[in-house]
Structure 1
Amino acid sequence: MLFLVLIPILLPLLGLVWLLRRRRYRGLSEGALLGLLVLGVGVWAVFQSRSSTGALGLLPLPLYASLAGTLGWAGSLGWHSPQRLRRGLGTLALGAVLLLLGLLLADGLHTRARNQESDAQMAAQRAEIEAHRAAIRAQLARHPGEEGAQLDALSHQHAGQRTWLLPLLEQPELPQATLERLAKTEDAGLLLAAIRHPRAPATLLERVYRESHLPDYFFSDLARHPNTPPALLRELYHRPRSIMHLDRQFAANPALPAELRRELLAQTRDVYVLQGLLGLPELDCSLLPALRQALARSERPDDEYSQRQLQALGAGRCAAAAAGAAQLAGG
């Protein structure tokens, strides 16, 4: 199968070798120039895309360049021919190359214009959200002590208006009932903001995990949220990993069950996992020896933050545990 794909590229190359051995140089420079031009414009067009799969557009470019080079060579020969038919065919060949160039250029320009339009829309949306965020702060300042009621009223007043609901979901005083009501949405962005809220209840986090049609989109925040039920954390921890660096989120979660924390610590080589564990406000001091071992086998055993935290814990609230571990090791 691969050989069949390579044939359209290999045949022109073999033809080029044959022409060079025969010292038939006429038209080769024009063909090479057009082939390189098509390749360059194609690469430029591909890199206008911001899609994660955009680089796949590079795959057909060698074929396009080979085709353009062959047509450019044939077109140059025909263009200089005294025969009218050959000149006509040469013109068609050169026209085909120019058409290919035009299509690639148009595709790149269209992608670029679409990106600019998207950027403009995003900038306008960010400005609108910031304006509404300021309006919410002003509303709360005018009604001290009534933050919950005011936020609930605003959520009803601006129901369905995304640029109002997103900053509303940022407010720490948002009532839990309002939060749960706003989380009944098909908008993944609003739902993500809802489960990131500190008041997001365990029932909401469980529902998102069980019912969402895009569960992977929420795994990182579910793994990190301290209100995620322990049973759900265990299930999420042991399921096949579909996103990167999920262990870092588990490590930073103070609600992670102790056995998962020890399991995570026993197998990790990621220094950011250790940093997450060392940043917990109530770290189990019995984990200090395992933390030191994990840091030693990590990709950055001299990590300054981890070393400083371990030293502070060993000299501070975990001093007794560190001394006991040292005595056991010495004995």
Structure 2
Amino acid sequence: MNQIQALKDILSDDTLENVLILPHNMPDGDTLGSCIGLYFLVKHFNKRGYIVLNDGIPSNLSFLFDDEVRCLTSKEVEHLDFDVSIAVDSGETKLFEDRLSLFKRGKTRVNIDHHKTNSFFADINIIEVEASSTGEIVAQLFEAYDCPLCKRSAEGLYAAIVTDTGSFKYSNTRPLTFEISKKLMEMGFDFNRLNVEIFQNKSYEKLLLLNRVFETLKLYVDGKCAVIKLSKELIEQLALTEYDTDGIVEFVRDIKGVEVVIFIRHLNGEAHKVSMRSKYDFDVSEVATAFKGGGHMKAAGFKIDEKIEEIEAKIVEAIESKFGL
């Protein structure tokens, strides 16, 4: 059966009530905005949606939530039974492993995503790798299900699209992306407020961080590969939160001649998060997959438990190999 129709059939079942909606850990605009869209989509079918997240919400995205649409913790919903559970913008279950037991409690499990490394882990898998974002896929579900948009759902879905396309700069943007965005904008949400909140509210601390992180910049492969690092010591000195580092890798990618950027960030102990971005045709998802991660051709990442210097050496070696060196 068609996966999109299968989800509609389930949501149309009047005997079902509760729907679990799961963004991925360390949430970004795409996963959160898509969850908001899905909240209103299931509401159209007279279902109660529960967005469950144990992580904090990035400060530049908190405006998307209010008393009606909010993120609950696992503890707040542990007493509930879920007829449907939906994983949003997650290529694999480890991206929401702290809530995996909740996901598995859903009688029907759904996976909505656009990552080419998706592992198709659910009963219903709505995966479109050509889509610019998961928000774009959810917007198409509204149309496929004859579900009317409202200001709130349109705002969330637009936020999902505009953040995952880098304000429509990235190559994942396609003509359909603009067509969908036009329809969302026509719903009349506060376009200026959205852009100011998301893109024009950087903290003073984040600007300090940029200066300090740029000091760690190293170039490899004749300037085609840039590596930046954020150590435990620097995080403590600047009193940073996890989300203060969002967007740093994009700044480095803008350097002339750089085709691949690697950002290594300390998490805890020897655990580090590696984020990679690329220009042109370099597929960073292949590198991430080799380190048991995943993502897109031009945006991917993984977590690894090793010393920061060893991580740098291994990734640079992998990058050099792909460049044929």
Q: TM-score, normalised by structure 2?
A: 0.26
Greater relative contact order structure (CA < 8 Å, 6+ sep) = 2
Query: Greater CA radius of gyration, 1 or 2?
Result: 1
Q: Going by fraction, where is strand more abundant, 1 or 2?
A: 2
Of Structure 1 and Structure 2, the greater helix share is in 1
TM-score (norm 1): 0.25
